[in-house]
Amino acid sequence: MFRRLFGDSKSKDTRSLSRTRHTNEQNQDALRTIDHLQQSEDMMNKKLEKYDEEILDLQNKARQCLTKSHPDRPGAIRLIKRRKQLELQRDKLWQMKQNIELVNEQVQTSHFNRQVTDSLNIGQQHLKRTQKLMPTKKIEDIIDNITEQMEISNEINDLLAAPILTNDLNAIDFDLENELNILDNEILKENMIQINLPDAHTEKIQVSSTNDVDKQLAELQRLTTG
């Protein structure tokens, strides 16, 4: 069984290496073809330039034959015939150059398309390998773990932001409450004394005893709470 497994692995590696080597060979062949066609174009351009120079020279010589004091018409005719032959050769070469350019463009386009296809194939293989390492269940687990950790972090923040209570603070709050109650009682007593003060024009001021004040205080509290 192990032999079969290792054998399959080696077979896959061999096929992959073979495809890579074949692709490299095709790319090199395309580049050589493009270079060869480009050299042919350059050679034809130089030949066309030479034709143009010769044609122009024949045309000037034919004109000179006709501008002499004794025009040489036969010589001019021979030069014109030669010029026309060169023009025919130039036109044929120009058409051949057009064909070469067309083929070169097609080869370059084909080579470019092949490179794009290879790039797309490499990209999709990478995506396929990457997606195998990121199954949906694994991503869901990662998201769940992140959510749980965020909730724990929020709880920690809430705990850290809560006020810290100590026994000293509790004792201070209790003392303040007692002092507040004493102050309330004093205010109530003062109010009761003012309520029971006699009219200054009718009778003398009489101070109530402590027991009367307490009774009046209790009555006032009863009325206010009832």
Short-list 220, 104, 23, 67, CA closest to 75: 67
**Residue tagged 């050299």 (tokens):** 39
Q: Are 217 and 189 in contact (CB under 8 A)?
A: yes
Tallying the residues shown for the chain, one arrives at: 226
Residue ranges of domains in the chain: 2-134, 167-225
pLDDT range class, residue 27, cuts 50, 70, 90? confident
Is pLDDT at 23 greater than 80 in this prediction? no
Of residues 218 and 167, the one with the higher pLDDT is: 218
pLDDT at 160: 84
Of residues 24 and 156, the one with the higher pLDDT is: 156
Taking only the tens place, the pLDDT of each residue in 166-186 is: 555 555 555 667 777 777 787
Task: Give backbone dihedrals phi and psi of 208, rounded to 5 degrees, phi first.
Answer: -70, 150
pLDDT range class, residue 204, cuts 50, 70, 90? very low
Question: Under CATH, which number does the domain 2-134 receive?
Answer: 1.10.287
Q: For 225, how many CA atoms within 13 A lie in the half-sphere containing its CB? A: 6
- pTM score, whole prediction: 0.48
pLDDT range class, residue 8, cuts 50, 70, 90? low
Rounded to an integer, what distance in angstroms lies between the CA atom of residue 33 and that of residue 41? 12
Is pLDDT at 151 greater than 90 in this prediction? yes
Q: Are 111 and 34 in contact (CB under 8 A)?
A: yes
Q: Are 196 and 208 in contact (CB under 8 A)?
A: yes
Taking only the tens place, the pLDDT of each residue in 79-113 is: 999 999 999 999 999 999 999 999 999 999 998 99
Of residues 152 and 174, the one with the higher pLDDT is: 152
Please, what is the average pLDDT of the chain?
78
